[in-house]
Structure 1
Amino acid sequence: MSVATVDEGPLLGPSFFLSRTALRSLALAHRDTYGAARPHPHVVIDGFLGERLATQLAGVFPGATGAPWMRRDHPEQAARLGQLQRKAFEGVHGALRHLLAELSGMAFLDFLETLTGVKGLIADPHFRGAGLHLTLRGGHLALHADFNRDRTRALSRRLTVLYYLNPGWEPAWGGDLELWNADLTRCEARIAPVLDRLVVMAHGDTHWHGHPAALACPEGRGRATVAAYFYTAEESPDAPEAHSALWAPPRP
């Protein structure tokens, strides 16, 4: 069952919205799997938006020359395109921008909290380090543990969400997300980047992951990912005591 509903709006054209009710049922169905997963808490959910909507989103995902990508070619990551948030996702199709907004919204945050048990999650509307990613033939992402803080807002990173938009992805092309144990002695999970697959992972400084082998997809294809990161605030001893609204006394 898809968690998205489609609205044929007369002014803005077709759009979709995440169903809070359907997402809660999905979270309850997968939360035990998430907590028990190894090498660290994670879950893989297929058919997240439904094949029809996912195929449409994949069809408007920008290609290598279809957006003002920033390209990275380093030993740690090669032929990786990203950083469209630098220009506020200008030129990106409205359906993909809408998806990014929905991933930052109430229904999806409630879903993540029910799934993971982490309360008070905060989305990043600036998508620092996240947003849309496209890895081209020969590209890779070395094993790594993600950055742990949003320094701008003094928040602690808690979750990573990845959503794949790769129709017809062949196993021989590689690109599996690899999850390795804390001492980097073995890969304990491999996740293919197939169409309409959602991955939710806990953050941790020993939560090693990546797709380190060079992609063998055909020229003109790429590994398309939508990424979103989620944070929590920390208690501060200097924070004022919480109170409800302060009402001014009636004027004479």
Structure 2
Amino acid sequence: MLTTINQSYLDPEKLNKLTAEFASGQPYKHLVMDNFLKEETAAQLYDNFPSIEKLSKHYKGLNENKSEGSNFSDFHAVFTQVRNDFMSPEFAQWMSQVTGIKDVFITDDKLGTGLHQGGDGSFLDIHVDFNIHHLKNVHRRLNMLVYLNKNWKQEYGGAMEMWNADMSKMVKAVPPLFNRCLIFETSDISYHGYSKITLPPGETRKSFYTYFYTNLPANANLKYHDTVFKSKPEDTAFKKVGTTVKENLKNTVKAQLKKLGIKF
């Protein structure tokens, strides 16, 4: 039984509505659900969210400034409880029903579940995600983010920006409000990210991430790529050129390493 999720979202009568909302999402298939976790569970996650220093990875570069961690043994037990629910067969079945993508699963590693956090000045430039798990060779299909930001103000920024396929226009922005769940299909046109945030002391942008996969068919003609960052129309010429050069080099090298069977 799924013990941490708001039971109203598990109601069979609601599944058709959720499925329709996901399928009609623009600029790509997605679904936004508020009060997704049980109230007491969300409160526990917020109260016990680890500090940025306790997360295991920190990114600070041309295209991102954020931290993440999947070292659940270092976190409060409620994080493992939620993780176990998300990784259960029952939740996988629910996700398949809502999205229409059959036989989804979560990998038991840092590319399956974890936490994201960013302090003042954090940003994540617009990008599409890697399409194949480089070690397990499975196809990434869906992202699920549960935001854990109480009293989030509009002036902080940090909304998840969803851009169209040619990166000419932002179509939708989803503020990272407390206990809001965002699910979206990952593809080569699912451009997303968030602009630089402005936060007061002690405030951070927090989320619980989960990535869903399916097995690759034996005859799959899918060429591996890593995360691909893209420039916004308003970016400086320097950033546009720097992003293009960096991403082309990174993806060329990583694709070759994967082809050779070298871990990275």
In the alignment, structure 1 residue 73 sits paired with structure 2 residue 60: yes
Query: CA offset at residue 112 of structure 1?
Result: 0.8
Contact 1:127 1:229 survives alignment (8 Å): no
Deviations 1:101-133 (A, max 9, x none): 211112211111011100011211213174101
The separation in 2 between residues aligned to 1:216 and 1:157, in whole angstroms, is 31
Q: Which residue of structure 1 aligns with residue 224 of structure 2?
A: none
Query: CA offset at residue 164 of structure 1?
Result: 0.5
Q: Which residue of structure 2 aligns with residue 90 of structure 1?
A: 73
Structure 1 pair 62–183 and aligned structure 2 pair: CA distance change class (3 A): same
Higher strand proportion, which one? 1
The separation in 2 between residues aligned to 1:123 and 1:26, in whole angstroms, is 24
Q: Which of 163, 187, 190 is 2:146 aligned to?
A: 163
Higher helix proportion, which one? 2
Q: Which residue of structure 2 aligns with residue 112 of structure 1?
A: 95
In the alignment, structure 1 residue 234 sits paired with structure 2 residue 222: no
Which structure 1 segments of 5+ residues have no match?
6-15, 238-252
Q: Which of 142, 147, 154 is 2:130 aligned to?
A: 147
The separation in 1 between residues aligned to 2:9 and 2:209, in whole angstroms, is 23
Query: CA offset at residue 28 of structure 1?
Result: 2.5
The separation in 2 between residues aligned to 1:60 and 1:91, in whole angstroms, is 11
Q: Which of 125, 130, 134 is 2:108 aligned to?
A: 125
Alignment of 1:182-193 (within 5 A): 182-193=165-176
The separation in 1 between residues aligned to 2:26 and 2:83, in whole angstroms, is 28
Q: Which residue of structure 2 aligns with residue 10 of structure 1?
A: none
Q: Which residue of structure 2 aligns with residue 210 of structure 1?
A: 193
Structure 1 pair 153–4 and aligned structure 2 pair: CA distance change class (3 A): closer
Q: Which of 24, 35, 45 is 1:47 aligned to?
A: 35
TM-score by length of 1: 0.81
Q: Return 22-31 or 55-64, whichever deviates more.
A: 22-31
Q: Return 153-162 or 139-148, whichever deviates more.
A: 153-162
Aligned length: 219
Structure 1 pair 64–234 and aligned structure 2 pair: CA distance change class (3 A): closer
The separation in 2 between residues aligned to 1:20 and 1:133, in whole angstroms, is 26
TM-score by length of 2: 0.77
Report which of the two structures shows the higher radius of gyration computed on alpha carbons.
1
Percent identity between matched residues is 26
Which structure 2 segments of 5+ residues have no match?
220-264
Query: CA offset at residue 64 of structure 1?
Result: 2.3
